[in-house]
Structure 1
Amino acid sequence: MDNNLISESTIPITATPATIWEVLTNPDIAKEYLHGAKIDTDWKVKSAITLSGEFNGNKYVEKGILLEVRPFVAIRYTHWSPFDGLPDLPENYRIWSYSLEAKGNKTLLKISEDNIPTEKQKNRSDEFWRGVLFKIKQLCEHRKMQGFRDT
C-alpha cells in the first residue's frame, strides 16, 4: 500500500470565511454536507472529534483528534473510519484538512485528505469531497441569500 496518496479539492464560494466557518462547525448544519452524520467536538486542539450516523441500517462512529483549529482559517484533524476495513491503529488514520482563503467577494475552500492507502480509495475520496464541497457551497450561498449575518 502507498499511504502517500492525497485527495484535494477546492471551490470558490460567494460567502465570507465567517459564513463558511459556521457551516463547517455547526453540527446542525454539518450533517447536511456529511450525509446525515452528527459531528461532535468542542473545536479545541487535542480534543476528540466524532462523526456518527447510520448507513444502510447500520450505526457507525468515525473518530479522530483535532490537530489545528484556527477560526475562519483552518481545521485539521486525524480521521479513522470503520468503512475502510482497517484496524483502529495510528497508521490507519487519515488527516482531513479544511482551509479558507478570502479572495475579493469569494472565499476559496480547500479540503484535503491524506494517508490514503490505494488509488481506488483515493478516487472514492475525490468523488466524496467534490460532493461535499458542492453541498457546502450551496449551504453557504443559500444562507447568504436568506440574510445570514456575516460577522
Structure 2
Amino acid sequence: MAENHVAHAAVEIPASAGAVWDTLVDPEATWMMGARVTSAYVVGAPITFDGEWDGKPFQDRGEILEVDRPRRLHYTHYSPMSGQPDQPENYHHLTFTFEEHDGATTVTLEQDGNGSAQEAEHATASWEQVLGALRDAVVADAGGGSAS
C-alpha cells in the first residue's frame, strides 16, 4: 500500500468506559451497521462481522491485535466487498480508545490503510455514524430498553 491516510472519528458517551466496552463487545448489539460482531476478544483471536448490505449477506473478518479493557481495542479488518484481494496489505487496522472523564467516555476510532485522503474522509463519515450508533446502543442499554 503506497499511501496510508488515517480516518479519525470520536464520540462522547454518557457512560463509564466499562459500560461502553461491554456494549462494544456484545454480539447482540447491532451498532456496527447492523452487523453481528463476534470475537473472544483476546490477542490472536479472529473477529467476524456478519451482516447484510444492499440485500446481500456479507462476512468481514480480522484478527484481534491488542486488548486493554476498557481503554483500548486494536484489530485488523478485511472486507471482501472492497474488491481487493484477501492479503494483509489490504487490511485496515482499527484502534478504539476509551477515555473516561466526569461520568462520560470519549471513544476515539482510527482506521489506517486508506489509499487516499478522499477514502479516509469517506471512512471518517462512516465511522462517525457507527460511533453514533454505539452511543445510542449504550444509552439504550443504560435505560434498560432497546432502541427499536
**TM-based fold match above 0.5:** yes
Q: CA deviation at 1:144?
A: 2.2
Aligned length: 145
Query: Mapping of 1:123-134 within 5 angstroms?
Result: 123-134=121-132
* CA deviation string 1:85-123 (max 9, x = no partner): 111011111101111011111111101100111233212
1:49 — aligned with what? 47
1:113 — aligned with what? 111
Q: Which runs of 5+ in 2 are unaligned?
A: none
1:137 — aligned with what? 135
Q: Which runs of 5+ in 1 are unaligned?
A: none
**Runs of 4+ residues deviating >6 angstroms:** none
Asked whether the equivalents of residues 2 and 116 of structure 1 are also in contact (C-alpha less than 8 Å), the reply is no
Query: 1: CA distance between counterparts of 2:48 and 2:100?
Result: 28
Q: Is 2:41 the counterpart of 1:40?
A: no
SS in 1 for 2:28: helix
Q: Is 2:14 the counterpart of 1:7?
A: no
| TM-score (norm. length: structure 1) | 0.89
Query: 2: CA distance between counterparts of 1:114 and 1:42?
Result: 23
SS in 1 for 2:93: strand
Q: CA deviation at 1:83?
A: 2.2
* CA deviation string 1:30-85 (max 9, x = no partner): xx211221112111101111111221222211111100011111110011112221
2:80 to 79, 82, 89: 82
Q: CA deviation at 1:141?
A: 2.1
Residue identity opposite 2:112 in structure 1? D
Q: CA deviation at 1:142?
A: 2.6
In terms of fraction of residues, the more helix-rich structure is 1
